[in-house]
Structure 1
Amino acid sequence: MILNEILISTEKIDNVQVLKLQGSINSFTEKKFREVLSVAVRQGPVIMDLEDVHLISSKGAQALKEVYQVSFGHKNKLVLVNISKPILNVFKMAGLNGFFLIAGDEEAALKMASKR
């Protein structure tokens, strides 16, 4: 996986969309990321699996914040799962660590996303 790629696969569990991301969220990929996620969070609750995300740049952090705002505006939950320590550090540095619902595992994420 190179730095200017992001792959997003989607699975639906009940009414929750689970998006598995692979690659980087940066200035090369943030447009695709924002477009796909913005559509998803308008349709219902979303779990975003970040296990295979290796880099989030400042541009990527800005895109994450914008997607969160769309989900909040549509009253749909956005739950993050499988976040590495380096990515959590990016969230802290960008002041985003309090924005998102973060689950410890997929089962907890599904419960969080499904609750009203």
Structure 2
Amino acid sequence: MSLDDLVVATEKIDTVYVTKLQGNLNNFTARKCVQSVTSSLKHGSVILDLEELNMVTTQGIQAFRTLSEEAFLQKHKIILINLPMSVRQAFAMAGIKNLFPIAQNEEGAFKMASRGVR
């Protein structure tokens, strides 16, 4: 997988969208990520599975900030699961580690998604 590869796979389960990101979130792929997740946010909350996200650059961090704003505007949640250590470290360095709720697993994320927004 090259630096400009990001696979975004989304599945709708009930009223929640589960989106898996695989690859790198950077200046080449951030727009694709934002467009896909924003499209889902228009219809419901999103669980973002980051288990196979290899790298997050500054542009990727900006994409997460944009998604947070979009979730607020759409009155839906984005819940993160399966964060690799490299992603946790990038979030901590960028000061956004508390931007999204983080669930221990998909079951916990579904419970969080079913509760009211913020």
- Per the normalisation by structure 1, the TM-score is 0.96
Q: Which digits, 9 at most, give the CA deviation of each residue in 1:5-34, with x for residues without a partner?
A: 111111111100000110010011011111
Please list every run of 5 or more consecutive structure 1 residues that lacks an aligned counterpart in the other structure. none
Q: Measure, in 2, the Cα distance between the counterparts of 1:35 and 1:67.
A: 9
Q: CA deviation at 1:94?
A: 0.8
Identity %: 39
Partner of 2:86: 86
Report the number of matched residues: 116
Please list every run of 5 or more consecutive structure 2 residues that lacks an aligned counterpart in the other structure. none
Q: Measure, in 2, the Cα distance between the counterparts of 1:92 and 1:45.
A: 24
Establish whether residue 71 from structure 1 lines up as the match of residue 71 from structure 2.
yes
Q: Which digits, 9 at most, give the CA deviation of each residue in 1:60-88, with x for residues without a partner?
A: 00011101110011110100000011100
Q: Measure, in 2, the Cα distance between the counterparts of 1:40 and 1:91.
A: 23
Q: Measure, in 1, the Cα distance between the counterparts of 2:72 and 2:89.
A: 23
Stretches (4+) displaced over 3 A: none
Q: Is the 8 A contact 1:81 1:102 kept in 2?
A: yes
Q: Is the 8 A contact 1:24 1:53 kept in 2?
A: yes
Partner of 1:20: 20
Q: CA deviation at 1:42?
A: 2.0
Q: Measure, in 1, the Cα distance between the counterparts of 2:103 and 2:3.
A: 26
